[in-house]
Amino acid sequence: MKLIVACSCLIISFMALSEEVPSVKSELPRADVLQNQVNTMMQGTASWLDAIGSNDSDDNSNDRASAKGYLQLSWLPRTADLDDVDVNFKVSLHLPQWNERFALVIDNDDDEDEHLLDYESNHIQDNQDGVNVAFQYIKQFNQKWQVKNRVGFSRSQVYLRSEVQFNWRVQQVDLSLQPRLDYFLQDGWEPSIKTVAAYQLEKSYLSLSASWQKIQTESNTRRKIGFYHIKSTGKNQLLVSGVQYNRSNNSEDISNENYFISIRYRNLIYKSWMYCEVEPFVEFNQANNFRTEVGGVFRLISYYGR
């Protein structure tokens, strides 16, 4: 059923690119009408929430409330499993009357997205159906470091998060270090750290990422390391190829290793806000005795907001 629904959404979205809705003032493609409606609704919601925190002294402020986000439709066929589909969304509401660094973030992405390596795509089957809500505060001290704090609701429980990001450059290598500490009301403490090294080539660049995470309810730590080559093939086209090692834990708290090789092509297909991605991959999973598993990921991503 999920496959039918997702495929229908994809077909309707592509058909909307060529269809037009008659209007007295102008004739706009249906895709533009839908995108404008979503954008108007989100901007209105941001303004309404921001007005709650306003006072008379803020009436002349030039910083207005805004919203931005995306809707992503994905199909992930792989060996012996052709009906894995997913629909993800995220919206971030900037509320300057509350605080210029304050935002309300709403999404349905699995918490795994927060632990992705740079240029890693989420190809993990996600059974989470809930919506996550978080209040986020970011303090940017300079271009070299910032602090991000969150309090929210995810995985059916309240959580707190504090993260520091350090950036620096050594010769031609850009380095990044992100230590982070989460506390979930039921699952307990979850410290993690991620590091990235990027090297600029003549017409492309290389990225080496690694992460470590310890969840209090799991006996084994989670580890990732990935090596990626990123190349722009056009004005709005990107090609990312890479190999990744992942050590995680299954539902029975047993350590599981995974090797993943993929090539991801991203292209702007409509105006400045609709992209498509195609990512064929080969996977070797310990749970399947490292049997070769072939698959692909097809994504349609629509952005809105400012």
Identify the structural domains of the chain with CATH numbers, from first to last.
2-305 (2.40.160)
Residue 123 pLDDT exceeds 70: no
Averaged pLDDT score across all residues of the chain:
83
Q: CB of 302 within 8 A of CB of 35?
A: yes
Q: CB of 120 within 8 A of CB of 105?
A: no
For residue 12, name the pLDDT band (cuts at 50, 70, 90). Answer: very low
The residues that bridge with 176 in the sheet, in sequence order, are 167, 196
Residue 83 pLDDT exceeds 50: yes
Report in angstroms the alpha-carbon separations of 145 from 142, 164, 165, 177, 252. Answer: 6, 7, 5, 9, 38
The identity of residue 91, as a single letter, is: V
pLDDT at 173: 95
pTM of the predicted model as reported, rounded to 2 decimal places: 0.81
pLDDT at 142: 85
pLDDT at 2: 44
pLDDT at 81: 78
pLDDT at 88: 87
Residue with tokens 């990512």: 279
Mean pLDDT calculated for residue range 144-172:
93
18, burial (CB in 10 Å: exposed 0-12, middle 13-18, buried 19+): exposed
Which residue would you say has higher pLDDT here, 267 or 30?
267
Residue 132 pLDDT exceeds 70: yes
For residue 15, name the pLDDT band (cuts at 50, 70, 90). Answer: very low
Residue 25 pLDDT exceeds 60: no
